[in-house]
Structure 1
């Protein structure tokens, strides 16, 4: 991953128990633990007067401002919350200087890859349909997610709902991607530019789907490219149904997230229909087998009854003849 060395920053390793007081809004926070860090800052789980929050702190004021703008956009896009809700924006005054931060909703859920491991790969299509719907709204608002990867995705619920976590990689469409992770970056695979546009995020969605079938991921061989990724897709039965969609996304052939979403919905519908048909066929075969078995049992039962009746009749006749002989 390309990023600055934030671990050396004074805000990257705050100790549990550290107290932060906002300069302007006067809201107090108590650091509990670090949740993650990246090129644009560090995220902590913190305790506030209203409960747990995720606190992002960065010495880069421009990055904080950019992310706050994105989170504000999230809350305005068609009335649906795409990422965490923005709760507070403020500055923290320290002996080393004033450090900007913002507090957002702390989402409780399961990391995407862990969720897939527990629930099964059949969930990947459904969750990606949700993600693509959210991405479409984000793109319509003029932003690309940029650093889209499983680490930045959480499954909440029930009902299962995919949510975004760190929005540090979000970039205005048309600009250069500011943060990325190699496995999900089309530039790393030699399949496109690191430019913020819908197709960049859709490439990452395809790689996330591949990652769900290869939890440990895999290294690029030589130049990497489409040939290696195509072979990886065809080697996994769980990915084969989505082959067409994945290859189209990897090659940047989708004009937008909604187009890829429609193709996925069609595949899921077709797969579900086939599954129902197979289930129906299997059920029909089982019913036929059960009926035949029942008929055989009935025939066997009837045959046994007839055999019992004949033997009983023969014995009764023999007994009558025996009595008749005694009377003679």
Structure 2
């Protein structure tokens, strides 16, 4: 992709405008802006009757870096680590400047806090299990997500799954985090460094959960560790989830797979306890033995049981 030495002005693309690649000649009809950040702006576009997401920036090196991350994700077998890459090209704007862009799969879905508020906190466990699995696959590739926050996440549909939609902050492990947002940043809370390691993402993931319950955020106060512990205790009903979040913010978990295993074990325990309680309610042995095993499964399904079945079937 072409890099221009002159300092380029910010680019603004309007609804209804068409972005045509300089090299591949593919045309993308702009529907609306999806979001804008330090690196560039993402637009919802239509290409050959299919909705796609187009990210354009005046920083060609940043676009190249993100494209390389998406290409690395594509190589991970059995995982869908964020949106798939469709096209990369340059765009000659009406002002004559050349801007780099890439096109990726558009993942439609719901904002995480809205989804949880609408469907219940119980869904949070299921979504976290699947996300931790994907996060582990990302870490295994040598990357850290970096700018992990609710704005960069979406709950996709059919099946419902928590996915990331912006890889702009993704950083090679061992390097300094290149993009971050204070509320989710371990260093801001004086709970660790800004070095890219799996623990940085796990801290941010704990803050993602807290942001669901504190949509306006909160200040760190004079004792950030104490503040975080108090906020967790006040907001989270589940004792096991409280313990998990505290472990994550304190750096007591070093890998995302530990988060997944912790949650799965807790779900299985809850399912077993519910099963035992339901058996005690059976009036006599004859009723118990004649009860079809398949129907019994559905009869004992608490929300945690549903989570367990979801994980078994879809993850």
TM-score of the two chains, using structure 2 as the length reference: 0.82
Tell whether the 8 Å contact from 2:92 to 2:99 is kept in structure 1 after alignment: yes
1:123-173 CA-partner distances (Å, limit 9, x unpaired): 111111111111111111111000111111111122211211011111111
What SS does structure 2 have at the residue aligned with 1:235? helix
Alignment correspondent of 1:309: none
Tell whether the 8 Å contact from 2:80 to 2:134 is kept in structure 1 after alignment: no
Q: What's the CA shift for 1:218?
A: 2.2
Does 75-84 or 234-243 show the bigger shift? 234-243
Write the distance in 1 (CA, Å) between the matches of 2:204 and 2:221. Answer: 19
Tell whether the 8 Å contact from 2:16 to 2:31 is kept in structure 1 after alignment: yes
Tell whether the 8 Å contact from 1:189 to 1:220 is kept in structure 2 after alignment: yes
1:120-131 equivalent positions in 2, closer than 5 A: 120-131=120-131
Write the distance in 2 (CA, Å) between the matches of 1:21 and 1:34. Answer: 17
1:180-231 CA-partner distances (Å, limit 9, x unpaired): 111111111110111111000010111112223333432222242x211111
1:82-101 equivalent positions in 2, closer than 5 A: 82-94=81-93, 95-101=95-101
Write the distance in 2 (CA, Å) between the matches of 1:214 and 1:102. Answer: 34
1:75-118 CA-partner distances (Å, limit 9, x unpaired): 11124221111000000012342110000111111111111011
**Is 1:44 matched with 2:69?**
no
Alignment correspondent of 2:53: 54
**Is 1:269 matched with 2:279?**
no
1:66-215 equivalent positions in 2, closer than 5 A: 66-94=65-93, 95-215=95-215
Count of residue correspondences: 276
Write the distance in 2 (CA, Å) between the matches of 1:237 and 1:87. Answer: 40
How has the CA–CA distance of structure 1 residues 278 and 214 changed in structure 2, closer, same or farther, with 3 Å as cutoff? Answer: farther
Does 148-157 or 100-109 show the bigger shift? 148-157
What SS does structure 2 have at the residue aligned with 1:77? coil
How has the CA–CA distance of structure 1 residues 76 and 50 changed in structure 2, closer, same or farther, with 3 Å as cutoff? Answer: farther
How has the CA–CA distance of structure 1 residues 109 and 138 changed in structure 2, closer, same or farther, with 3 Å as cutoff? Answer: same
Write the distance in 2 (CA, Å) between the matches of 1:208 and 1:264. Answer: 16
Tell whether the 8 Å contact from 2:236 to 2:242 is kept in structure 1 after alignment: no
How has the CA–CA distance of structure 1 residues 211 and 29 changed in structure 2, closer, same or farther, with 3 Å as cutoff? Answer: same
Tell whether the 8 Å contact from 2:79 to 2:137 is kept in structure 1 after alignment: no
Write the distance in 1 (CA, Å) between the matches of 2:184 and 2:101. Answer: 28
What SS does structure 2 have at the residue aligned with 1:23? coil
Does 53-62 or 159-168 show the bigger shift? 159-168
Tell whether the 8 Å contact from 2:90 to 2:99 is kept in structure 1 after alignment: yes
Tell whether the 8 Å contact from 1:213 to 1:238 is kept in structure 2 after alignment: no
How has the CA–CA distance of structure 1 residues 279 and 214 changed in structure 2, closer, same or farther, with 3 Å as cutoff? Answer: farther
What SS does structure 2 have at the residue aligned with 1:31? strand
Write the distance in 2 (CA, Å) between the matches of 1:107 and 1:259. Answer: 27
Cα root mean square deviation, aligned: 1.9
How has the CA–CA distance of structure 1 residues 183 and 86 changed in structure 2, closer, same or farther, with 3 Å as cutoff? Answer: same
TM-score of the two chains, using structure 1 as the length reference: 0.79
Alignment correspondent of 1:238: 237
Write the distance in 1 (CA, Å) between the matches of 2:159 and 2:48. Answer: 28
Write the distance in 2 (CA, Å) between the matches of 1:9 and 1:113. Answer: 35
Q: What's the CA shift for 1:248?
A: 1.5
Structure possessing the higher radius of gyration over alpha carbons: 1
